[in-house]
Amino acid sequence: MDFNLPPEVEQMRRAVLDFAHDVVEPRAHEIEATNRVPDDLTRAAADLGLFGLSIPEEYGGLGLDMVSKCALYEALGHAHMGFGGVISAHASIGTTGLVTLGTEEQKRRFLPRMATGETIAGFAITEPTSGSDAANIRTRAERRGDVFVLSGTKHYISNAPVAGLLTVIAVTDPTQGARGMSALLVEMDTPGVRVGRIDEKMGQRGALSAEVIFEDAEIPAANLLGPLHGGYREALKILTNGRVGIAARATGSMAHLVELGVAHARTREQFGRPIADFQAVQFMLAEMQVDVVTSRATWQYVAWLVDQGRSVGMEASAAKLHATEALSRVADKAVQIAGGMGYMKDYPVERWYRDQRLLRIYEGTSEIQKVIIARSLLQ
């Protein structure tokens, strides 16, 4: 296994890291105050190619393998987590289904605009009655001639208020349970499709999510993504690979918190000397760094397995579970090192502490990851 990046990817990784530190993070207070990502930051991200991470070069994307893509996700993890959330929801689960399952016509129709960020994408599976229990989906898509008539409600859908395209998982054969679901490419300007209430979240400001309501929306049959009645199975594959990206982004966020902790420890004085001199602080920093190193090694290995064409259901769950739980530990220690300052909204650690909490919930809770891992051991 060789995790060294090609020179051009390493150059881009450094560019994304600089962009995160020097461009996005200085705008964090603006994102927090307005609950939106400024248009110029979106354009800058598009210029870097971040919206095309998962898209092949022939459609305008970067055509990266999984190891390279996750290396950029880790660099992106140093940026405001709401900003990173917009990018990852689009470039990961919002895009990979179309790339892997789409027809040539579908790819040529949608991917070039997605690669430039002109069309933002999202993935809609969660409903009021089905989160972790995805097999309980109630949104229906009834085939009528050349269209599917789509009815139902999705909620907590990342990017929904700004998206132009959603991959929607809906029931197409209610007699078959989980085996009777299909994936549809749904354009948000379709009559009968509307965004409902925009969510007010604890953190990740700027990464908007909302309910999406389908009221007898007519979706062209040509927008069926992948096999009929194969949507649930394919959705699980999409989520599996997405979990590796979350692990990488969580690793970057940990590394950023270590940087903040080290900088604070060197400059904050107590009892006449920097708190970095105290072993209690040194031990917290050491434990934080151990979580960075182990999380990075894990996502690199699982991403490499993906590039080898291996099935990684259990390994991806392990990577996400470890990295997101580790990020919570690191964020907690970062607040502790900062003391009272770490609890104040004008200090970045407070924001990171709130923002990271969501990673243990979306794209499969920590408990669901444990179920997947245990089943793989006991089957």
Q: Which residues are catalytic?
A: 363
Q: Give the H or E element holding residue 69.
A: helix 66-76
Kindly give the interhelix angle for 39-48 and 7-19, rounded to the nearest 10 degrees: 170
Which regions of the chain does DSSP assign to beta strands (E)?
Answer: 121-124, 140-144, 147-158, 165-171, 181-187, 193-198, 209-220, 224-225, 269-270, 273-274
Alpha-carbon distance of 271 to 274, in angstroms, equals 8
The structure tokens listed for 176 are: 């078959």
The residue among 199, 198, 212 whose CA lies nearest residue 139 is 212
The structure tokens listed for 198 are: 């925009």
**Contact present, 219 and 190 (Cβ < 8 Å):** yes
Alpha-carbon distance of 68 to 10, in angstroms, equals 8
The structure tokens listed for 117 are: 């960020």
Question: What residues contact residue 11 under an 8 Å CB cut-off, 6+ apart?
Answer: none
Question: What residues contact residue 27 under an 8 Å CB cut-off, 6+ apart?
Answer: 38, 41, 80
Q: What is the DSSP string of 184-220?
A: EEEETTSTTEEEEEEP--SS-TT--EEEEEEEEEEEE
Q: Which amino acid does the sequence have at 219? A: I
